[in-house]
Structure 1
Amino acid sequence: MPNATLAHAKGYSVPPEHAPRIVEMDQYFADGEIHVDPNFYALYLTLPDYKAWRYTVAVSQPALWEPGTYTLKWKAEWPRWRPTNAMIRRNPGKYAKYRNGMPGGPGNPLGARALYLFDGDRDTFLRIHGTTQPWTIGTASSNGCARMVNDHVIHLFDRVQKGARVVLHPRFDQVA
Protein backbone atom coordinates (compact mmCIF):
# COMPACT_ATOMS: atom_id res chain seq x y z
CA MET A 1 0.00 0.00 0.00
CA PRO A 2 1.37 3.43 -0.90
CA ASN A 3 2.54 5.81 1.78
CA ALA A 4 -0.04 8.56 2.28
CA THR A 5 2.39 11.26 3.44
CA LEU A 6 2.46 13.15 0.13
CA ALA A 7 -1.33 13.12 -0.11
CA HIS A 8 -1.88 15.18 3.01
CA ALA A 9 -1.69 18.54 1.29
CA LYS A 10 -2.98 21.39 3.45
CA GLY A 11 -4.39 19.02 6.06
CA TYR A 12 -6.29 16.91 3.51
CA SER A 13 -6.70 13.18 4.16
CA VAL A 14 -7.51 10.89 1.25
CA PRO A 15 -10.85 9.15 1.84
CA PRO A 16 -10.45 5.38 2.34
CA GLU A 17 -12.66 4.67 -0.69
CA HIS A 18 -10.06 6.42 -2.88
CA ALA A 19 -7.23 4.10 -1.80
CA PRO A 20 -5.70 1.94 -4.56
CA ARG A 21 -6.93 -1.62 -4.48
CA ILE A 22 -6.87 -4.76 -6.57
CA VAL A 23 -10.20 -5.48 -8.24
CA GLU A 24 -11.68 -8.18 -10.49
CA MET A 25 -12.22 -7.14 -14.13
CA ASP A 26 -15.25 -8.39 -16.04
CA GLN A 27 -13.40 -8.53 -19.35
CA TYR A 28 -9.90 -9.50 -20.40
CA PHE A 29 -7.24 -6.84 -20.95
CA ALA A 30 -3.56 -7.54 -21.58
CA ASP A 31 -1.32 -7.30 -18.52
CA GLY A 32 0.26 -3.87 -18.06
CA GLU A 33 -2.31 -1.72 -19.86
CA ILE A 34 -3.85 1.43 -18.38
CA HIS A 35 -7.57 2.07 -18.83
CA VAL A 36 -9.16 5.31 -17.61
CA ASP A 37 -12.94 5.33 -17.22
CA PRO A 38 -13.94 8.99 -16.75
CA ASN A 39 -17.52 8.03 -15.89
CA PHE A 40 -16.41 6.41 -12.65
CA TYR A 41 -13.21 8.45 -12.04
CA ALA A 42 -11.29 5.19 -12.26
CA LEU A 43 -7.88 4.31 -13.63
CA TYR A 44 -7.05 0.62 -13.97
CA LEU A 45 -3.59 -0.89 -14.36
CA THR A 46 -4.34 -4.36 -15.67
CA LEU A 47 -2.84 -7.47 -14.12
CA PRO A 48 -3.01 -11.14 -15.15
CA ASP A 49 -6.09 -13.27 -14.44
CA TYR A 50 -8.77 -10.59 -14.95
CA LYS A 51 -7.44 -8.39 -12.14
CA ALA A 52 -6.30 -4.77 -12.01
CA TRP A 53 -5.09 -2.09 -9.65
CA ARG A 54 -7.89 0.47 -9.39
CA TYR A 55 -7.07 4.09 -8.57
CA THR A 56 -9.51 6.97 -8.15
CA VAL A 57 -8.59 9.92 -10.38
CA ALA A 58 -9.76 13.37 -11.35
CA VAL A 59 -10.55 13.67 -15.04
CA SER A 60 -10.98 16.62 -17.32
CA GLN A 61 -13.87 18.93 -17.68
CA PRO A 62 -16.34 17.43 -20.21
CA ALA A 63 -15.35 19.43 -23.30
CA LEU A 64 -11.63 18.69 -22.79
CA TRP A 65 -11.68 14.86 -22.50
CA GLU A 66 -9.97 13.14 -25.47
CA PRO A 67 -10.93 9.47 -25.59
CA GLY A 68 -8.64 7.21 -27.59
CA THR A 69 -5.79 4.75 -27.47
CA TYR A 70 -2.34 6.12 -26.70
CA THR A 71 1.14 4.91 -25.86
CA LEU A 72 3.06 5.75 -22.71
CA LYS A 73 6.35 6.96 -24.17
CA TRP A 74 7.90 8.93 -21.33
CA LYS A 75 7.82 8.95 -17.54
CA ALA A 76 9.20 11.69 -15.30
CA GLU A 77 9.84 12.11 -11.58
CA TRP A 78 9.04 15.58 -10.24
CA PRO A 79 8.38 16.79 -13.82
CA ARG A 80 8.73 20.29 -15.16
CA TRP A 81 5.39 21.81 -16.15
CA ARG A 82 4.25 24.31 -18.74
CA PRO A 83 0.59 24.99 -19.44
CA THR A 84 -0.45 24.22 -22.99
CA ASN A 85 -1.15 27.10 -25.37
CA ALA A 86 -4.84 26.15 -25.23
CA MET A 87 -4.83 26.47 -21.42
CA ILE A 88 -3.20 29.92 -21.68
CA ARG A 89 -5.82 31.01 -24.27
CA ARG A 90 -8.72 29.70 -22.13
CA ASN A 91 -7.53 31.31 -18.91
CA PRO A 92 -4.66 33.77 -19.42
CA GLY A 93 -5.06 35.27 -15.94
CA LYS A 94 -4.30 31.93 -14.37
CA TYR A 95 -1.78 30.40 -16.79
CA ALA A 96 0.06 33.11 -18.81
CA LYS A 97 2.53 33.75 -15.98
CA TYR A 98 3.72 30.11 -16.40
CA ARG A 99 4.23 30.25 -20.17
CA ASN A 100 7.97 29.69 -19.66
CA GLY A 101 7.31 26.71 -17.41
CA MET A 102 7.80 25.78 -13.79
CA PRO A 103 10.50 23.48 -12.40
CA GLY A 104 9.46 20.21 -10.82
CA GLY A 105 8.88 20.07 -7.08
CA PRO A 106 6.18 19.89 -4.43
CA GLY A 107 4.42 23.06 -5.69
CA ASN A 108 4.30 21.97 -9.33
CA PRO A 109 0.77 21.14 -10.62
CA LEU A 110 1.99 17.84 -12.15
CA GLY A 111 2.90 16.61 -8.71
CA ALA A 112 5.39 13.86 -7.95
CA ARG A 113 5.26 11.92 -11.22
CA ALA A 114 3.94 12.23 -14.77
CA LEU A 115 3.22 9.72 -17.52
CA TYR A 116 3.26 11.23 -21.03
CA LEU A 117 0.78 9.95 -23.61
CA PHE A 118 1.65 9.83 -27.29
CA ASP A 119 -0.23 9.10 -30.51
CA GLY A 120 2.50 7.47 -32.58
CA ASP A 121 5.43 9.89 -32.29
CA ARG A 122 3.20 12.90 -31.52
CA ASP A 123 3.03 14.14 -27.94
CA THR A 124 -0.67 14.62 -27.20
CA PHE A 125 0.02 16.84 -24.16
CA LEU A 126 -2.27 14.43 -22.27
CA ARG A 127 -0.79 13.24 -19.00
CA ILE A 128 -1.50 11.00 -16.07
CA HIS A 129 0.08 12.86 -13.18
CA GLY A 130 0.06 13.71 -9.51
CA THR A 131 -1.51 16.84 -8.11
CA THR A 132 -1.06 19.54 -5.52
CA GLN A 133 -4.87 19.44 -5.08
CA PRO A 134 -5.72 15.90 -3.91
CA TRP A 135 -9.22 17.01 -2.89
CA THR A 136 -10.08 17.21 -6.62
CA ILE A 137 -9.75 13.43 -6.99
CA GLY A 138 -13.11 11.96 -8.00
CA THR A 139 -14.16 15.10 -9.91
CA ALA A 140 -14.13 16.42 -13.47
CA SER A 141 -11.77 19.34 -12.90
CA SER A 142 -8.60 19.01 -14.99
CA ASN A 143 -7.63 20.48 -18.35
CA GLY A 144 -7.55 17.12 -20.16
CA CYS A 145 -5.33 14.96 -17.98
CA ALA A 146 -6.03 12.29 -15.38
CA ARG A 147 -4.86 13.51 -11.95
CA MET A 148 -3.91 11.24 -9.08
CA VAL A 149 -2.97 11.62 -5.44
CA ASN A 150 0.85 11.91 -5.41
CA ASP A 151 1.38 8.69 -3.45
CA HIS A 152 -0.93 6.86 -5.84
CA VAL A 153 0.80 8.12 -8.99
CA ILE A 154 4.14 7.01 -7.50
CA HIS A 155 2.59 3.57 -6.91
CA LEU A 156 1.41 3.45 -10.55
CA PHE A 157 4.68 4.91 -11.91
CA ASP A 158 6.68 2.12 -10.26
CA ARG A 159 4.47 -0.57 -11.86
CA VAL A 160 3.80 0.58 -15.42
CA GLN A 161 6.31 0.26 -18.23
CA LYS A 162 7.18 2.68 -21.02
CA GLY A 163 5.45 1.47 -24.17
CA ALA A 164 2.28 0.53 -22.29
CA ARG A 165 -1.02 0.88 -24.08
CA VAL A 166 -3.25 3.56 -22.49
CA VAL A 167 -6.96 3.70 -23.27
CA LEU A 168 -8.96 6.79 -22.33
CA HIS A 169 -12.53 5.53 -22.53
CA PRO A 170 -15.35 7.84 -23.70
CA ARG A 171 -17.53 9.76 -21.30
CA PHE A 172 -21.21 8.79 -21.25
CA ASP A 173 -22.00 12.19 -22.76
CA GLN A 174 -19.63 11.47 -25.70
CA VAL A 175 -21.23 8.17 -26.72
CA ALA A 176 -23.76 8.53 -29.56
Structure 2
Amino acid sequence: MKMKLVLASAGLMLTVALSGCMSVGTLFTDAYGSKMDAGYQLPAIPIYKVPEQYRRQEVSFHTDEAPGTIIVDTGEHHLYFIEGDGKAMRYGIGVGREGFTWKGATRVAMKREWPTWTPPSAMIKRQPELAKYREGMDPGLKNPLGARALYLFTKHGDTGYRLHGSPEWWSIGKNVSSGCIRLMNQDIIDLYNRADVGAKVIVK
Protein backbone atom coordinates (compact mmCIF):
# COMPACT_ATOMS: atom_id res chain seq x y z
CA MET A 1 0.00 0.00 0.00
CA LYS A 2 1.43 3.38 -0.98
CA MET A 3 1.02 6.24 1.45
CA LYS A 4 2.06 9.86 1.24
CA LEU A 5 4.86 11.70 3.01
CA VAL A 6 4.40 15.45 3.38
CA LEU A 7 7.50 17.47 4.17
CA ALA A 8 7.59 21.13 5.15
CA SER A 9 10.76 23.17 4.72
CA ALA A 10 11.08 26.94 4.33
CA GLY A 11 7.43 27.12 3.36
CA LEU A 12 7.81 24.53 0.59
CA MET A 13 5.58 21.44 0.61
CA LEU A 14 6.78 18.23 -0.99
CA THR A 15 4.82 15.01 -1.39
CA VAL A 16 6.77 11.77 -1.72
CA ALA A 17 5.45 8.21 -2.09
CA LEU A 18 6.64 5.87 0.65
CA SER A 19 5.82 2.27 1.56
CA GLY A 20 4.79 1.30 5.05
CA CYS A 21 4.50 4.57 6.96
CA MET A 22 2.88 7.99 6.87
CA SER A 23 5.19 10.76 7.89
CA VAL A 24 5.41 14.48 8.51
CA GLY A 25 9.13 15.30 8.66
CA THR A 26 11.46 18.16 9.48
CA LEU A 27 14.40 18.62 7.11
CA PHE A 28 17.80 19.36 8.62
CA THR A 29 18.99 21.31 5.59
CA ASP A 30 21.20 23.62 7.68
CA ALA A 31 23.20 20.69 9.10
CA TYR A 32 25.60 20.33 6.17
CA GLY A 33 27.93 23.29 6.56
CA SER A 34 31.69 23.19 6.99
CA LYS A 35 32.91 22.23 10.46
CA MET A 36 36.11 21.34 12.27
CA ASP A 37 36.01 17.75 13.48
CA ALA A 38 38.87 16.04 15.34
CA GLY A 39 41.37 18.29 13.60
CA TYR A 40 39.88 17.84 10.12
CA GLN A 41 38.12 20.69 8.32
CA LEU A 42 35.07 18.91 6.99
CA PRO A 43 33.93 20.70 3.81
CA ALA A 44 30.41 21.98 3.38
CA ILE A 45 28.06 19.94 1.22
CA PRO A 46 26.12 21.86 -1.48
CA ILE A 47 22.95 20.39 -0.05
CA TYR A 48 20.71 22.13 -2.59
CA LYS A 49 22.16 19.65 -5.12
CA VAL A 50 21.02 16.66 -3.01
CA PRO A 51 17.37 15.62 -3.57
CA GLU A 52 15.26 16.47 -0.51
CA GLN A 53 14.31 12.84 0.13
CA TYR A 54 17.98 12.07 0.85
CA ARG A 55 18.54 14.88 3.35
CA ARG A 56 18.42 14.12 7.06
CA GLN A 57 14.92 14.41 8.49
CA GLU A 58 12.84 13.18 11.41
CA VAL A 59 9.84 11.20 10.20
CA SER A 60 7.00 9.12 11.56
CA PHE A 61 7.94 5.46 11.34
CA HIS A 62 5.95 2.64 12.91
CA THR A 63 7.80 -0.57 13.71
CA ASP A 64 7.93 -3.26 16.38
CA GLU A 65 11.71 -2.85 16.60
CA ALA A 66 13.11 -1.26 19.77
CA PRO A 67 14.42 2.31 19.92
CA GLY A 68 18.06 2.39 18.91
CA THR A 69 17.56 -0.12 16.09
CA ILE A 70 18.86 0.83 12.66
CA ILE A 71 16.79 -0.21 9.64
CA VAL A 72 18.36 0.08 6.19
CA ASP A 73 15.99 0.12 3.21
CA THR A 74 18.32 -0.45 0.25
CA GLY A 75 15.54 -0.20 -2.30
CA GLU A 76 14.49 3.27 -1.16
CA HIS A 77 18.08 4.34 -0.32
CA HIS A 78 17.11 5.29 3.21
CA LEU A 79 18.47 4.45 6.65
CA TYR A 80 16.22 4.82 9.70
CA PHE A 81 17.40 5.24 13.29
CA ILE A 82 14.42 4.26 15.45
CA GLU A 83 13.75 6.85 18.15
CA GLY A 84 10.58 5.40 19.67
CA ASP A 85 7.08 6.84 19.98
CA GLY A 86 6.55 6.25 16.26
CA LYS A 87 9.48 8.45 15.22
CA ALA A 88 12.74 7.83 13.39
CA MET A 89 15.62 9.88 12.06
CA ARG A 90 15.97 9.18 8.35
CA TYR A 91 19.11 9.55 6.26
CA GLY A 92 19.82 9.17 2.55
CA ILE A 93 22.33 6.44 1.69
CA GLY A 94 24.35 4.93 -1.13
CA VAL A 95 24.24 1.13 -1.36
CA GLY A 96 25.91 -1.79 -3.11
CA ARG A 97 26.00 -1.85 -6.86
CA GLU A 98 24.82 -4.89 -8.83
CA GLY A 99 26.54 -8.02 -7.57
CA PHE A 100 27.39 -6.47 -4.19
CA THR A 101 23.99 -6.16 -2.52
CA TRP A 102 23.12 -8.05 0.65
CA LYS A 103 20.38 -8.34 3.27
CA GLY A 104 20.16 -9.58 6.83
CA ALA A 105 20.33 -8.75 10.54
CA THR A 106 23.61 -7.69 12.14
CA ARG A 107 24.75 -5.57 15.07
CA VAL A 108 27.12 -2.67 15.61
CA ALA A 109 30.21 -4.25 17.18
CA MET A 110 32.54 -1.23 17.05
CA LYS A 111 32.46 2.48 16.27
CA ARG A 112 35.43 4.50 15.04
CA GLU A 113 36.04 8.20 14.44
CA TRP A 114 38.06 8.98 11.30
CA PRO A 115 38.84 5.30 10.75
CA THR A 116 41.62 3.69 8.78
CA TRP A 117 40.42 1.97 5.60
CA THR A 118 41.84 -1.40 4.62
CA PRO A 119 40.57 -2.78 1.30
CA PRO A 120 39.74 -6.50 1.46
CA SER A 121 41.85 -8.90 -0.57
CA ALA A 122 39.01 -9.51 -3.03
CA MET A 123 38.86 -5.78 -3.77
CA ILE A 124 42.61 -5.59 -4.24
CA LYS A 125 42.36 -8.48 -6.69
CA ARG A 126 39.76 -6.56 -8.71
CA GLN A 127 41.64 -3.27 -8.38
CA PRO A 128 45.39 -3.97 -8.07
CA GLU A 129 46.12 -0.26 -7.71
CA LEU A 130 44.71 -0.51 -4.17
CA ALA A 131 47.50 -2.86 -3.07
CA LYS A 132 49.39 0.10 -1.63
CA TYR A 133 46.66 0.31 1.03
CA ARG A 134 46.97 -3.34 2.04
CA GLU A 135 48.17 -2.25 5.49
CA GLY A 136 45.55 0.47 5.71
CA MET A 137 44.88 3.94 4.33
CA ASP A 138 45.38 6.74 6.84
CA PRO A 139 42.31 8.65 8.03
CA GLY A 140 41.50 11.87 6.22
CA LEU A 141 39.18 13.78 3.97
CA LYS A 142 39.83 11.42 1.02
CA ASN A 143 39.51 8.19 3.01
CA PRO A 144 36.60 6.09 1.62
CA LEU A 145 35.22 5.48 5.15
CA GLY A 146 34.89 9.18 5.77
CA ALA A 147 34.47 10.75 9.19
CA ARG A 148 32.97 7.78 11.04
CA ALA A 149 32.38 4.05 10.66
CA LEU A 150 30.10 1.57 12.41
CA TYR A 151 31.36 -2.01 12.02
CA LEU A 152 28.73 -4.70 11.43
CA PHE A 153 29.14 -8.18 12.93
CA THR A 154 26.99 -11.28 13.29
CA LYS A 155 27.45 -14.18 15.72
CA HIS A 156 29.89 -15.60 13.16
CA GLY A 157 32.11 -12.52 13.28
CA ASP A 158 32.90 -9.52 11.11
CA THR A 159 30.69 -9.24 8.03
CA GLY A 160 33.18 -6.92 6.35
CA TYR A 161 30.37 -4.39 5.90
CA ARG A 162 30.24 -0.92 7.44
CA LEU A 163 27.91 1.99 7.88
CA HIS A 164 30.27 4.83 7.07
CA GLY A 165 30.72 8.35 5.86
CA SER A 166 31.77 9.34 2.38
CA PRO A 167 33.23 12.47 0.83
CA GLU A 168 31.25 11.60 -2.32
CA TRP A 169 27.98 13.26 -1.34
CA TRP A 170 26.78 13.02 -4.96
CA SER A 171 26.66 9.21 -4.66
CA ILE A 172 23.84 9.26 -2.09
CA GLY A 173 20.68 7.72 -3.52
CA LYS A 174 22.67 5.50 -5.90
CA ASN A 175 23.93 1.91 -6.12
CA VAL A 176 27.65 2.54 -6.05
CA SER A 177 29.47 0.68 -3.27
CA SER A 178 31.00 -2.76 -2.79
CA GLY A 179 28.29 -3.58 -0.27
CA CYS A 180 28.88 -1.06 2.51
CA ILE A 181 26.21 1.51 3.35
CA ARG A 182 27.48 5.06 2.89
CA LEU A 183 26.10 8.33 4.23
CA MET A 184 27.16 11.93 3.80
CA ASN A 185 29.89 12.74 6.32
CA GLN A 186 27.70 15.16 8.30
CA ASP A 187 25.02 12.46 8.51
CA ILE A 188 27.30 9.65 9.67
CA ILE A 189 28.56 11.92 12.47
CA ASP A 190 24.95 12.45 13.55
CA LEU A 191 24.16 8.72 13.36
CA TYR A 192 27.40 7.85 15.19
CA ASN A 193 26.34 10.07 18.09
CA ARG A 194 22.94 8.38 18.31
CA ALA A 195 23.78 4.70 17.79
CA ASP A 196 25.21 2.50 20.55
CA VAL A 197 27.64 -0.38 20.25
CA GLY A 198 25.45 -3.51 20.23
CA ALA A 199 22.65 -1.83 18.29
CA LYS A 200 20.65 -4.11 16.00
CA VAL A 201 20.96 -3.35 12.29
CA ILE A 202 18.45 -4.72 9.79
CA VAL A 203 19.30 -4.46 6.09
CA LYS A 204 16.47 -5.19 3.70
Report if TM-score (shorter chain) is over 0.5: yes
1:36 aligns with 2:36: no
Q: State the aligned residue count.
A: 167
Q: How does 1:69-80 map onto structure 2 within 5 Å?
A: 69-80=105-116
CA distances 1:16-51 after superposition (whole Å, capped 9, x unpaired): 612211111143321000011110100000011121
Report if aligned partners of 1:20, 1:54 keep a CA contact under 8 Å in 2: yes
1:55 aligns with 2:84: no
**Displacement of 1:7 after TM fit?**
5.5
- Identify the match of residue 162 of structure 1 among 171, 192, 197: 197
> 5+ unaligned residues in a row in structure 2: which ranges?
1-27, 35-41
Q: 1:16 to 1:4 in 2, by over 3 A?
A: farther
Partner AA of 1:151 in structure 2: Q
Point out which structure has higher relative CO (alpha carbons under 8 A, 6+ apart). Answer: 1
1:153 aligns with 2:188: yes
Report if aligned partners of 1:42, 1:56 keep a CA contact under 8 Å in 2: yes
Q: CA RMSD in A?
A: 1.8
Question: Distance between the aligned counterparts of 1:7 and 1:13, measured in 2?
Answer: 15
SS of equivalent residue, structure 2 residue 143: coil
Question: Distance between the aligned counterparts of 1:106 and 1:57, measured in 2?
Answer: 19
Q: 2:23 maps to what in 1?
A: none
Partner AA of 1:137 in structure 2: I
**Which protein has the bigger strand share?**
2
**Which protein has the bigger helix share?**
1
Question: Distance between the aligned counterparts of 1:27 and 1:157, measured in 2?
Answer: 21
CA distances 1:72-127 after superposition (whole Å, capped 9, x unpaired): 0100000000111111122223x222222111111211000000000125111100
Partner AA of 2:69 in structure 1: E
Deviating runs (4+, > 3 A) in structure 1? 6-9, 11-14
SS of equivalent residue, structure 1 residue 62: coil
SS of equivalent residue, structure 1 residue 158: helix
Identity score, percent = 40
Question: Distance between the aligned counterparts of 2:138 and 2:106, measured in 1?
Answer: 26
Q: 1:130 maps to what in 2?
A: 165
CA distances 1:103-157 after superposition (whole Å, capped 9, x unpaired): 1111211000000000125111100000121110110000110001000000000
- Identify the match of residue 4 of structure 1 among 22, 30, 33: 33
Partner AA of 1:152 in structure 2: D
Partner AA of 2:174 in structure 1: T
Report if aligned partners of 1:71, 1:120 keep a CA contact under 8 Å in 2: no
